[in-house]
Structure 1
Amino acid sequence: MLRNVRKTTLLSLTILSFGSNLCQAESESTDLLAAGNFAAFQENSIRGWVYTSKVNAVDGRQALTFEPAGDGKGSILVNGKEKNNTAYLLSKDDFQDVRVQLEFLIPKGSNSGIYLMGRYEIQIFDSYGAKQPASSGLGGLYQRWDPERKDKPGFDGVAPRLNASKAPGQWQTLDITFRAPRFNEDGAKTQNALFEKVFVNGQLVHENQEASGPTRSAKFNDEKASGPVMVQGDHGPIAIRKFLVTPL
């Protein structure tokens, strides 16, 4: 168990539709930001991330304004004021089937993402006003990448059903119910990873969407039964004020 991390019991039930029709209760939810420090994250993944008590987006720019807070005094996690080489943020704990609830803010043109098991990315991007949803837009299952596929190295990306993006500078939400891939006793994969449901700002954008393998820029290029939750840190500024992870 993690130290200094608040636990919140969720009473709701979810239907386990991936390989079973059994009803399975959610377990305790871990608030990764509760301590106002990095107790819930891998030490080598926090470079460039800081806590603050207030953050704003700069109008018309890919930038944030904030002042760093002292240890335990900030409730909002940010990865810098502008695009930089901030590390990808990884949870200390590994997870299998999981629900992730994220509340975030990005400035104009910014780009990030949340990776389930450090491998399968749901994109975070400033898609406000885009008429055609894309796999590279907010809520998209990002593409896989194989440079040996000369004609189309990017493949298997899935656009969200609709563009639910709010304007840059507003707080937005992602709510993801994810099922880890399954393997037999010999280690062969028997079922792909599955995004059972993905909501962006309360709107359903994916349902029972398989991920055939790790997406581009994943931390790990293999597939296993468990892995950490990860946030992309080096593509653009992002602020996070809610980060709940609930094993299913």
Structure 2
Amino acid sequence: MTRRTAPTIALAALAIAGTSYAAAQDDPKATEQWEPVPKVVTPGAKENAPPSDAVVLFDGHSLAGWEASKDHSPAGWKVHDGIVTVDKTTGNIQTKQRFKSYQLHLEWQIPKDITGEGQGRGNSGVFLASTGPGDEGYEIQIMDSFENKTYVNGQAASVYKQAAPLVNAARHPGEWQTYDIIWTAPVFAADGTVKTPAYVTLFHNGVLVQNHTELTGETFYIGKPKYKPYTDAPIKLQAHGDHSQPISFRNIWVRPLG
């Protein structure tokens, strides 16, 4: 009987392992993943229609899912002709449901006969997380930025007072505009410090204008952004105090991501 030494056995084992590795490299099944199977989400029947797993926030008929930000009373904006128009006398409105990270779709319209200039021209905003009774939160600016000059981190599709949009994709006043937003909520440690910051990706009328932009905190009109710990929060629409004609919204839906 031939006796194999330990080095010989080791070399033989390596040869077998090498053969198995080579076989795996030649086998397409070696890199196939079968589990877990992604759940089925049915896309909307028409462009911009909500997919099957979306929470419809405004369907053109009711603001039942919304409330006044200042006192949680019923939202007082005017619903008409399948749209909702800002009512500045009743103030900001926010969702009754609270969210963390999500995908948000909304459509908005500046009046065709808009007047004013700069920030006083159809000014509004969507707060991606409304963390307090005032204007605290993380704001994406909404306003007329078609041939209307203002500070760049305050024009449409900016992270207000933080990040200018990559490009100006604004349509003419009177035309409907879309925002498609991916919001990654910040995560806080037990002591309130930031573990991971907030990020936002935004498509304005199908054009990428915020590309995984890192936020440095909540929106403030005066002063630098700063974080305030929270777990989940409503989505808020702003009734701005300028004197230009109010804007309108339609087709608002959200897909919670965590």
The TM-score normalised by the length of structure 2 is 0.66
Structure 1 residue identity aligned to 2:58: L
Corresponding residue of 2:182: 177
Of residues 24, 38, 41, the one that matches 2:66 is: 41
Unpaired segments of 5 or more residues in structure 1? Answer: 1-8, 13-25, 54-74, 144-156
Given the alignment of the two structures, is residue 224 of structure 1 paired with residue 230 of structure 2, yes or no? Answer: yes
Aligned length: 188
1:128 match: secondary structure:
coil
2:58 match: secondary structure:
coil
Of residues 125, 134, 137, the one that matches 1:113 is: 125
Report if aligned partners of 1:160, 1:205 keep a CA contact under 8 Å in 2: yes
Task: Say if 1:229 and 1:161 are closer, same or farther in 2 by CA, change over 3 A.
Answer: same
Supply the distance in 1 between the matched residues of 2:221 and 2:73 (Cα, whole angstroms).
15
Higher deviation after alignment, 86-95 or 234-243: 234-243
Higher deviation after alignment, 44-53 or 108-117: 44-53
Task: Say if 1:225 and 1:94 are closer, same or farther in 2 by CA, change over 3 A.
Answer: same
Supply the distance in 1 between the matched residues of 2:221 and 2:66 (Cα, whole angstroms).
19
1:213 match: secondary structure:
coil
**Higher CA-based Rg:** 2
Question: Which of the two has greater helix per residue?
Answer: 2
Report if aligned partners of 2:107, 2:176 keep a CA contact under 8 Å in 1: yes
Corresponding residue of 2:85: 78
Of residues 164, 167, 170, the one that matches 1:162 is: 167
Correspondence list, 1:121-200, <5 A: 121-130=139-148, 134-143=152-161, 157-195=162-200, 197-200=201-204
Unpaired segments of 5 or more residues in structure 2? Answer: 1-39, 44-50, 115-120, 131-136
- Overall identity of the aligned pairs, in %: 32
Corresponding residue of 2:11: none
Report if aligned partners of 1:45, 1:90 keep a CA contact under 8 Å in 2: no
Given the alignment of the two structures, is residue 52 of structure 1 paired with residue 57 of structure 2, yes or no? Answer: no
Structure 1 residue identity aligned to 2:240: D
1:42 match: secondary structure:
strand
Corresponding residue of 2:240: 234
Supply the distance in 2 between the matched residues of 1:205 and 1:111 (Cα, whole angstroms).
19
The TM-score normalised by the length of structure 1 is 0.68
Given the alignment of the two structures, is residue 31 of structure 1 paired with residue 56 of structure 2, yes or no? Answer: yes
Following TM superposition, by how much is the alpha carbon of 1:35 offset from its aligned partner in structure 2, in angstroms? Answer: 7.0
Q: Render the CA deviation track for 1:196-235: whole Å, top value 9, x for unaligned.
A: x1010110001111111110269x9833121110000134
Correspondence list, 1:195-214, <5 A: 195=200, 197-214=201-218
Task: Say if 1:99 and 1:133 are closer, same or farther in 2 by CA, change over 3 A.
Answer: farther
Report if aligned partners of 2:85, 2:249 keep a CA contact under 8 Å in 1: yes
Corresponding residue of 1:102: 106
Q: Say what the alpha-carbon RMSD is for the aligned residues.
A: 2.7
Following TM superposition, by how much is the alpha carbon of 1:87 offset from its aligned partner in structure 2, in angstroms? Answer: 1.3
